Structure 1
Amino acid sequence: MRRPRPDAVCPVCGTKYEKDGFNIPFETFLGFGGDKVPDIDLNFSGEYQSSAHRHTFELFGDSHVFRAGTIGTVAEKTAFGYVKKYMEERGKTATRAEMLRLAKGCTGVKRTTGQHPGGMVVIPQDKEIYDFCPVQHPADDTDTDIITTHFEYHSMESNLLKLDMLGHDDPSMIRMMEDLTGVDAKTIPLDDPDTRSIFISSKVLGYENDKILGPTGATAIPEFGTSFVRGMLEETKPAEFDILVRLSGFSHGTDVWLGNARDLILSGTATVGQAIGCRDDIMIYLISKGMNEKRAFKIMEAVRKGRGLPDGAEDEMREHGVPEWYIGSCKKIAYLFPKAHAVAYVMMAFRIAWFKVHRPLAFYAAYFSIRAKAFDATVMCRGLERAKAKMDEIRAKDKEATAVEQDMLTTLEVVYEFYIRGFTFEQMDLYFRVDEEKKALLPPFMAIPGLGETAAVSIVEQRKGKEYLSVEEFSADCPKVTKAHIELLKNCGALAGMPDTSQMTLFDGF
């Protein structure tokens, strides 16, 4: 929507606008005169993505909706591996430069076909798919009932509508926090000062300038929780919601931040609000400079696709007073994020951040349940020092750390923050007893590495309405729980105080 005047009134309900909008012209979506195929992204909780996909078949018909096909090609590293193995098998040697040259010839060669994770191609009702392309089952799962377009979807995106119906963790987190607290996330103000402050300082969270987490409180906040984006926060110190949206554009774009906007901002050439963050910024800025609207739109489209500036655009921009740094920035960009996407993501991120500030236990419970990878209760639920030691161990491996260890390190950062804010984990208990007066979370059985979902569900189902006298009785009642599972439960303290056997010794207590 366009930014309304301070005294503007809604033409539908007559309500006076109290706050600015996000300044997203509708023409960015459909073009001037409706000559652009719209980019429609619909984000669902991952749990409901498949249901949303099925609904599109009900809406448009089975013969008019198909999964967008993809073509997997040989990546540069994979190609280099092919060349290296080829040389080894034949006892040949070559310089690295020669091996890279040979690998370049393999890079980009078709390897397999697959399906877009959420792309649904919609065919007009008066047409059929064969008017555009053949269809097939994806090569990685030929027995599935999913049918994809045979051509890679990019080759048809200017002619056919594609709905990106993606699964995201953020809606799942928000729903879980709503259920835990009773707070309606839609009522959370997007200008809450305490929430806004954590993107600059962690003071409101109870700690400041931590040597591990840094000066901000953005750890575990989607869009802003990675070390890369936290570094952006430190350098830009965003005090407004609009700047958070711009930072989202910086992080999602290609050749937008590093070597481009960052250099302009740090050198004082441009402010964060002036640098190009999202594709809409270009069109809005050029129109504000007096450039023809359609021409501004065409320049935006060329730049956001990485095509540089159209012929004659540089001279036109100079004639309208566009500075040289802005022209140079446009020429460097390879991809620009849509502002509508950035706004949607940052709105969800801000609401999640509000829970982190105001309802922290619900926030951490949702994060550890939904977003945390490689959660290991034997390490993470045993106190701050145990968590720090594991972090140091993984960091010492540097690039030698496995992918699982890297995921664990990310989760450990959040566990570390959880502890330094004064929270703790209750000892895991077979009956899920917890004292709500304590600032503590009770980890689930699934947090025990090696236990598995089947055993965890079995325990929960079998224990209902029962009090076990011993580990022996518990084990006999849960046939899916093996001896190995029992040891895991003991190691995590879930069976603390429970004797191994139900037999009593006559002289106990003497």
Structure 2
Amino acid sequence: MTETTHDNFVHLHVHTEYSLVDGLLRVDDYVDSLIEKGMWSGAVTELYNVFSMVKFYRKCIDRGIKPVIGAELCLEDETEAGRNHRLVLLCRNNEGFRNLAELITLSYTQGQARGVPAIRRDWLDSRAADLIALSGAGYGAIGQSIINNQADYARKQLDWFLDLFPERFYLELQRTGRPGEDIYIDEALALASEFDIPVVATNDVRFLASEDFSAHEARVCIHNGYTLNDPKRPRHYSNEQYLKTPKQMQELFHDLPEALRNSENIAIRCNLELEFGDYHLPEFPVPEEFDQSGWLRREANAGLERLVEDRRTSVNGIDTEQYSRRLDDELDVITSMGFPGYFLIVADFIRWAKQQGIPVGPGRGSGGGSLVAYVLGITDLDPIYHELLFERFLNPERVSLPDFDVDFCMDRRDEVIEYVSGRYGRERVSQIITFGSMAAKAVVRDVGRVLGHPYGYVDKIAKLIPFELDMTLDKALQAEEMLKQRYHEEEEVKILIELAKKLEGLSRNAGKHAGGIVISPRELTEFMPLYCERNTAVTSTQFDMGDVEAIGLVKFDFLGLRTLTIIDWAVKDINEQLPERSGATLDIRNIPLDDAGTYATIRRMDTTAVFQLESDGMRKLIKRLEPDKFDDLVALVALFRPGPLDSGMVDDFIDRKKGKAQVRYIHPALEPVLKPTYGVILYQEQVMQIARILGGYTLGSADLLRRAMGKKKREEMAQQRDIFVKGAEGNKISKTVATSIFDLMEKFAGYGFNKSHSVAYALLAYQTAWLKTHYPAAFMAAVLSADMNNTDRIVRLIEELRRMKLVIRPPSINHSEFKFRVMDEKTILFGMGAIKGVGRSA
């Protein structure tokens, strides 16, 4: 351990950008600066949270810095309701972190007042162990008592703290040039002498360098709604609250060397250790006579038996031996990787949703490649029929968590989340936090406002920034000549842009992931605190998705998809009428995938309201490609992306499909793999199969090759090239041919799409097109009902009805319902919910 000297002062009170109220420090910059300043340790003590903890911890370990983890919390005042004091708590070890996590969670779930989470004093009685407390300097309970000339009350507060934190309480001293600091320090030193307790120096850090103060003040004003020149705005900070060197702190506290030494002593005492690489999977309850692996195997085999019995695959009959063999192989991998519980949990909540009549998607993402998922009802995609690969989803040669993306009806998704919370315990289930950042356009508007510029002036500048993905202010200055000109010629514009640059990309606010849910095997506060917004009981993790996965917790995606709602409503309408005519009912999962009328509808570009096929760009591609089978639809979804459209891949595909160009295969052995795409390498799964057939790869190692090609890391690609060429030579392919094939694979891998995802979305596209073709009134009524809050969309859809020669009846007080309703095969009755002032919100 580093020798204790005040030259090695440690910053113990630091806010990064994740202190959303007032932090300006970026985590990477902070750790890099610690190294530059010759410091061996540093802390993060975010305001009310530990949002940055995992990122900071991992960066520190990577750079050889000892991380100290804590938080700055609000402590309720025992005499005045609504008044709070600051308290810094640092974790000595993992037990201390669990106590801190519980306190922070309680502050959000039970202690919020006016949006500020605070901890109650009695909560500390059972949660102070293994936490080191810093008094909060002039903003703490003792500091406020001193500044308000309440010396006796300050002593009473100190007694209480010492009882709670024996040998673990420090009076915090700061010299940042803010009012009241000198008075506080004099009295605090007297108390330290009287009670024989230690003092510690901190700098209450908010930004990296002194010159960042103006940007910091702008950030605070953005959050609090003030302008910088407002004489009434609170001014709680000074330009001294930057990351000072040990020497600067030594000069500042030259008269109190023990306050500097104690900062290092505290860092030495703090030894929280986070573990990465282990997974903490939730347990699925199974009958006593089974373990999770045995129960999964039983359920999967039973599912396959039902499949064989019902003949519900996409082919006429089943090669039972092929399906059984693949099922056993997948189950062996799932069991060896320790993921049976994951599959059982997903299958359980999907089964429950279907039993409740909640529409569930056919599957999206790479999960469609799993036969186990298919027979359990997790997906509706037969991976053998569609030639999808299990290893694309779960690779036995690269241990990573499985990740099913499950689409539910938009309106009823929350019911499924509620079911999961009830089944596994609300203390173990939470949504996942996300952080909104200050993007280029938005930060210019924010900074312009706090600088006091008129809205119109700022709006003109913001509109000069191109509306493109990953746009930055530096890129905008290069791309937009007018912005560049104004930046160089107008001093006010330059000041605005330069200030905005300092804030650009910072975390601005906390939100919730669109569908991410974490299920823990134990109470979540054993892993992290929880966060919730004011006036809501819905919690989210304090770690974002990447950090949740880094500590080994499993994410489940509950996504909302409006198309499922439309299909469900349409099918229900159809089935209400079908029994009257035929006694049959429609199951959308069993419609034939080779219906000529459906493909004719698509080729006519009659795709308004058809999933994924509605945009002008897609219609143009449909016109060129003229899809006439399901494989063409799958390809259509994969081709309609910037990479294939710009690379010439689309032209090759279309010319070969239409016979304008010869279908060629890069090697005769690849014809079975590339025949569905006319010899063009379109899917990531094809890259994997080429590696297996020609290079002798296992599908697991082929998936590693696919990933390497996607990342384009030069050293890794050189290694993979050697492996492929040697494997190909073993299959009697010359080195020259093998190298050219590898080059071609590498080129197309950059554009390759996940076929499992394409199949899933092509299936939804086909189902909606099929409904529009065969039951146009029911389908359009469902679409209108789903869009009834969008007046412009309703107007366009009514135009579509006229084009389809369908009749829309005006609303009737006697006959209309809330939703649009089918009257007969050619007539729809207007829904009352689409009338302004009559909907549910009215």
User: Is 1:167 aligned to 2:564, yes or no?
Assistant: no
Tell me: CA distance 1:75–1:266, structure 2 relative to 1, closer, same or farther (3 Å). farther
Amino acid at match of 1:192: D
Amino acid at match of 1:327: E
Amino acid at match of 2:566: M
Structure 2 partner of 1:493: none
User: Is 1:38 aligned to 2:402, yes or no?
Assistant: yes
Contact residue 243 and residue 273 of structure 1 kept, 8 A: no
Amino acid at match of 1:352: T
Structure 1 partner of 2:777: 361
Contact residue 133 and residue 151 of structure 1 kept, 8 A: yes
Contact residue 42 and residue 165 of structure 1 kept, 8 A: yes
Partners in 1 of 2:546 and 2:743 — Cα distance?
33
Structure 2 partner of 1:385: none
Contact residue 264 and residue 270 of structure 1 kept, 8 A: no
Partners in 2 of 1:105 and 1:162 — Cα distance?
34
Structure 2 partner of 1:61: 425
Tell me: CA distance 1:96–1:284, structure 2 relative to 1, closer, same or farther (3 Å). same
Partners in 1 of 2:762 and 2:715 — Cα distance?
29
User: Given the alignment, which residue of 358, 374, 378 partners 2:790?
Assistant: 374
**TM-superposition CA deviations, 1:325-350 (whole Å, max 9, x none):** 5422334x5xx764333322322221
SS at match of 2:434: strand
Tell me: CA distance 1:104–1:330, structure 2 relative to 1, closer, same or farther (3 Å). farther
- Equivalence map 1:88-487=2 (5 Å): 89=453, 96-97=483-484, 98=487, 103-123=500-520, 125=521, 127-130=522-525, 132-137=527-532, 141-157=533-549, 159-182=552-575, 183-200=586-603, 202=604, 216-251=605-640, 255-259=643-647, 261-262=649-650, 265=653, 274-275=679-680, 277-293=682-698, 294-303=700-709, 310-312=716-718, 313-314=720-721, 320=738, 321-322=740-741, 324-331=743-750, 333=751, 338-371=754-787, 374-375=790-791, 408=792, 411-432=794-815, 436=823, 439-453=826-840
Contact residue 427 and residue 442 of structure 1 kept, 8 A: yes
Contact residue 309 and residue 330 of structure 1 kept, 8 A: no
Partners in 2 of 1:19 and 1:106 — Cα distance?
48
Query: What TM-score, normalized to structure 1?
Result: 0.66
Amino acid at match of 1:366: A
Partners in 2 of 1:427 and 1:217 — Cα distance?
25
Structure 2 partner of 1:487: none
Partners in 2 of 1:222 and 1:325 — Cα distance?
32
**TM-superposition CA deviations, 1:42-78 (whole Å, max 9, x none):** 1111222111001222333223222111111112221
**TM-superposition CA deviations, 1:459-502 (whole Å, max 9, x none):** xxxxxxxxxxxxxxxxxxxxxxxxxxxxxxxxxxxxxxxxxxxx
Tell me: CA distance 1:181–1:308, structure 2 relative to 1, closer, same or farther (3 Å). farther
SS at match of 2:320: coil
**TM-superposition CA deviations, 1:114-141 (whole Å, max 9, x none):** 1112111122x2x55355433222xxx2
SS at match of 2:536: coil
Contact residue 66 and residue 121 of structure 1 kept, 8 A: yes
Partners in 1 of 2:637 and 2:822 — Cα distance?
39
SS at match of 2:706: helix
Partners in 2 of 1:322 and 1:164 — Cα distance?
37
Tell me: CA distance 1:256–1:76, structure 2 relative to 1, closer, same or farther (3 Å). farther
Tell me: CA distance 1:261–1:226, structure 2 relative to 1, closer, same or farther (3 Å). same
Partners in 2 of 1:414 and 1:245 — Cα distance?
26
Partners in 2 of 1:242 and 1:219 — Cα distance?
21
Cα distance, 1:298 vs. partner? 1.0
Partners in 1 of 2:708 and 2:715 — Cα distance?
6
Amino acid at match of 1:449: K
Percent identity of paired positions between Structure 1 and Structure 2: 22
Cα distance, 1:4 vs. partner? 11
Partners in 1 of 2:619 and 2:500 — Cα distance?
36
Contact residue 44 and residue 166 of structure 1 kept, 8 A: yes
**TM-superposition CA deviations, 1:208-243 (whole Å, max 9, x none):** xxxxxxxx1222101111223222222322222123
Partners in 1 of 2:597 and 2:425 — Cα distance?
48
Partners in 2 of 1:370 and 1:418 — Cα distance?
15
Partners in 1 of 2:774 and 2:565 — Cα distance?
19
Cα distance, 1:163 vs. partner? 0.7
Cα distance, 1:142 vs. partner? 2.6
Partners in 2 of 1:270 and 1:87 — Cα distance?
64
Partners in 2 of 1:309 and 1:7 — Cα distance?
47
Cα distance, 1:145 vs. partner? 1.4
SS at match of 2:411: helix
Amino acid at match of 1:296: A
Contact residue 801 and residue 808 of structure 2 kept, 8 A: no
Greater mean alpha carbon deviation, residues 410-419 or residues 66-75: 410-419
Amino acid at match of 1:218: T
Cα distance, 1:438 vs. partner? 7.5
Aligned residue pairs total: 395
Larger-Rg structure? 2
User: Is 1:24 aligned to 2:429, yes or no?
Assistant: no
SS at match of 1:150: strand
CA RMSD for the aligned pairs?
3.9
**TM-superposition CA deviations, 1:62-105 (whole Å, max 9, x none):** 23222111111112221233455567739999972346676454
Query: What TM-score, normalized to structure 2?
Result: 0.42
Partners in 2 of 1:426 and 1:4 — Cα distance?
40
Contact residue 118 and residue 167 of structure 1 kept, 8 A: yes
Partners in 1 of 2:798 and 2:831 — Cα distance?
15
Partners in 2 of 1:314 and 1:101 — Cα distance?
46
Tell me: CA distance 1:240–1:44, structure 2 relative to 1, closer, same or farther (3 Å). same
Gaps of 5+ in 1: 203-215, 376-407, 456-510
Gaps of 5+ in 2: 1-303, 305-312, 325-381, 462-476, 488-493, 576-585, 664-676, 726-734
Contact residue 260 and residue 329 of structure 1 kept, 8 A: no
Partners in 2 of 1:32 and 1:47 — Cα distance?
37
Partners in 1 of 2:715 and 2:617 — Cα distance?
29
